[in-house]
Each structure stands twice: as structure tokens, then as C-alpha cells.
Amino acid sequence: MDKIVVEGGVPLRGSVRVSGAKNAALPAIAAALLAEGDHVVRNVPDLADVRTMGRLLAHMGCAVERSADRHTQHVRVPSTVKAEAPYELVKTMRASVVVLGPLLARWGRARVSLPGGCAIGARPIDQHLKGLAALGAEIRLEHGYVEAQVPRGRLRGTTFTFDGQTVTGTENVMMAAALAEGRTILRNCAREPEVTDLAAALRRMGARIEGAGQDEIRVEGVERLRPLDHAVIPDRIEAGTFLLAGALPGCDVTVTGCTPPELEALVEKLRAAGAEVGEVPGGLRVRGPARPRPTDVRTAPHPGFPTDMQAQMMVLLCLADGSSRITETVFENRFMHVQELLRLGADITVEGKTAVVRGVPALSGAPVMASDLRASAALVLAGLAARGTTEVLRVYHLDRGYERIEEKLEPLGARISRVRA
């Protein structure tokens, strides 16, 4: 298995460009299932998860092709599909579950493997299923699969309130409602920019959707949608990860191609920790302090501080001049990186949902093991800041969400390489 080797302690300087958002590309590709014909999704990142989504649609009978530069995804949806997402694919990528809404809405049936738990928590999909049932789907759980069908043939508009905010749940039910008969009102919706981007993609297909990005989404169902041609938004979590790299002591990094308003909660915390962050044409420039200030952080759904940035923020606070408290409210088990950061000399204790991070003057390189996608990114950042050599093992986690991170960091001066096993 590949590993990333980082020779730390070199301040990063320069500019890095953000790729398209993984979590916007995945539902946009799934949305193709809502209409027969030739679809194009642009600005797609070249990532393992995007390839998995392509394999999933190919399994259903779609013709899936990527452009030579790997950033445009073509999908031809035939007149009938095999409405199934098998366990072999869903277990490698939970986000596969976003095919459920489109399959049910367009084809009236779906067989989708239950994703099961993962490294960061139990992650049930009960809200996806409740929302789809409210639209008229009949759902059974059998042999590890969600077996769903629409007895009337077409879903029917409804009013539904999510018990808790869920990003892919909102996306699934919104996609299903797009083809339902009549009006759907969804309340307590996730307000993440990826939901707003998906609504924009659906509108390009002819869907009538208002309110995405707010608590209440209103959908006027239409009978038919046309093929999609949509460019996904920049990846705010990749952008945030590079901003964090620039906020490390002595660094000066400009992140181009990002959307600053989507990064406000993070930027506020970087400033609180002593980094200088300013808008420059085309992006954000961040300069790290000599030593970060301790800062408390609490994750929350958008527009709060993103859970997907919690591990990376922890790295900065590991080096602060004092103690910080990081509280994770979105997932129940998202502190797997703590044990690995301890190996690098960090001083952290976890008390329930809160990690108490007592800053140390320096980290020291060591071999560490990635447990999930964002934890891996945090370990790379920690390696950049640490003295000596850090080896990050299980890089496949990183490759699910970051497009060749070592090739993006190297031009900034990072001494980083991928060692092929």
C-alpha cells in the first residue's frame, strides 16, 4: 500500500488551486439517473470516490466515461436501468446511497445496500428512508438491503420535516421530490453549499426547486427532466485544508479558486488562532503566526464550523500557546486522529464529545496510520509542521477525497512524496 512521506519543518509559501468538490460531484453524477440521455458533469475531481460512483452507474447499465483530463464526467443513461447498488460498491463509499432517491423517482424501484457503520460513527440513513416513505415509497429492509418501490408508479408531493439535519438525506429526498407529483415542502434541511449546488444542477435539468441553502426547500414536481450539464462548485474542504496548511507557523499560502463566503466559519477560527487571512483576487491568502493562540472550536452543520475540518484544525491547536477545547457535535466518533497525533508528540485528552488540546512547542515526526479521509489530511498537515520525518500509512483514505495532495503541496516547498508499495 502507498504511503506519504513528509520531511517536516519547512514553511510553505506560494499558491495552490482548489479542485471541484467531491461532495457536490457525487450527488450530481447520481442525479443523472433522473433522466434518460447524455449527461455531463464538469469540474469533477479525479478521486477514488468519483470513480466508485462511475462504477456504480456502470453496474446499473449506464455508459460512463471520463474526459482525457479526468475532470469531465459523461454519463449516458439508457431507457431502462438495473436499479441496484450492491454491497461491494456501497461498502467502499457510503455516499453511494444518493442513488436511492433518483432510482425511486425515475424507475419506481430501488435495491440499495445498507451502508453500515464507518470509522467516524454509526451513520444511519433513517432520515433518507423516512423522507422517501413520506413521498409514497414502500420500503423494506431485507438481507442488508433497502428494498424500495413506489406502488402508485409515481411519488407524490408531501410536507416532511427531517428530525435532524442530514446532507445526503436532504439531497436524496430533494432529488426524489423533483419528479414527484405535486408540491413538496422539506423542513429542517441541511444548508451545506453542496445541497445548494445540487439544487442548481437539478434546476438545469428542468426541476422546480426553491429555498436550497435554507431551512425550507420547496419543490414543484415535474413529469420529466432533461439531461444534465453542470459544473460543480470548488471543494471548500480541500480549500480549508490548504488554508490550514498556510496557517501553520511561518507559512504564507494563497488558495485560489475557492469561494470565501463558504469558508467563513473556518476563517474566523484561523484568525482567532492568530493567522492573518485576507481576500486576494481569486481566493484567500493566509499567513501563519509564529505560534498559534489557543481557540475553542465546536463543529456544527453549515454555516457552523465544518466537522470535515475538525481534525485539520486540531493540528494547528496542537502547536498553540495554551489549551483549546474542540467539541464534535455532528459525528459521535470522530477523534480517531487523536491517538496518531499523540504519536507525534501532541498533548490531547478526549472527554466524551470534547478533545482538550494542550499546545506543545513542536511536534516530532513518526509513522502514523490514517483512519478516515479527513484524519489522513490532518496527519499530512501534522507531518508538515513536525520536525523530522512522518510517514502516513493507509493513504487510500486520503485518495478518496484529495486529488494528488502531494503534487499540490510540493510546489509550496513541502518535502513530500508518495512511496509506491
Closest contact distance (angstroms) between CB of 169 and ligand EPU is 5
Report if residue 126 touches ligand EPU, rule: CB under 6 A: yes
Which bin fits 261, alpha (ψ -120 to 50), beta or left (φ > 0)?
Answer: alpha
State which of residues 190, 201, 369, 378 lies at the interface with ligand EPU (CB under 6 A): 190
244 in contact with ligand EPU (CB under 6 A): no
Amino acid residing at 17: R
Q: Assess 169 for contact with ligand EPU (CB under 6 A).
A: yes
Positive/negative CA dihedral, 393, 398, 403, 408 = negative
Contact (Cβ atoms closer than 8 angstroms) between residue 247 and residue 31? no
Q: Could you say which of 55, 66, 74, 123 contacts ligand EPU (CB under 6 A)?
A: 123
308 binds ligand EPU (CB under 6 A): yes
Query: Interface with ligand EPU includes 330 (CB under 6 A)?
Result: yes
Name residues contacting ligand EPU, limited to 4-43 (CB under 6 A): 23, 26
Q: Spell out, one character per residue from 89 to 108, where the chain touches ligand EPU: x when CB under 6 A holds, - when not.
A: ------x-------------
Site string for ligand EPU, 342-361 (x = CB under 6 A): --------------------
- Which residues lie closer than 8 Å to 204 by C-beta, 6 or more apart? 228, 229, 230
How far is the C-alpha of 176 from the C-alpha of 162, rounded, in Å? 15
Report how far residue 299's alpha carbon sits from residue 271's, in angstroms, rounded to the nearest whole number: 17
Which span (82-90, 167-175, 253-261, 267-275) binds ligand EPU, by CB under 6 A? 167-175
Smallest separation (angstroms) from ligand EPU to the CB of 408: 17
Residue 312 found at the interface with ligand EPU (CB under 6 A): no
Are 24 and 198 a contacting pair, CB within 8 Å? Answer: yes
Q: Contacts with ligand EPU in 137-166 (CB under 6 A)?
A: 164, 166
Cα→Cα distances 49→42, 44, 178, 194, Å? 16, 11, 25, 16
118 catalytic, yes or no? yes
Query: What is the secondary structure of 160-193 as a DSSP string?
Result: EE-SS--HHHHHHHHHHHHTSBSEEEEES----H
What H or E segment, with its residue span, contains residue 357?
strand 354-358
Q: Total number of residues binding ligand EPU (CB under 6 A)?
A: 25
Q: How far is the CB of 96 from ligand EPU (least distance, A)?
A: 9
Taking the C-alpha atoms of residue 235 and residue 45, their distance in angstroms, rounded to an integer, is 9
The catalytic residue among 62, 118, 189, 251 is 118
Q: Which residues bind ligand EPU (CB under 6 A)?
A: 23, 26, 95, 121-128, 164, 166-169, 190, 194, 307-308, 330-331, 373-374, 401
Catalytic residues: 118
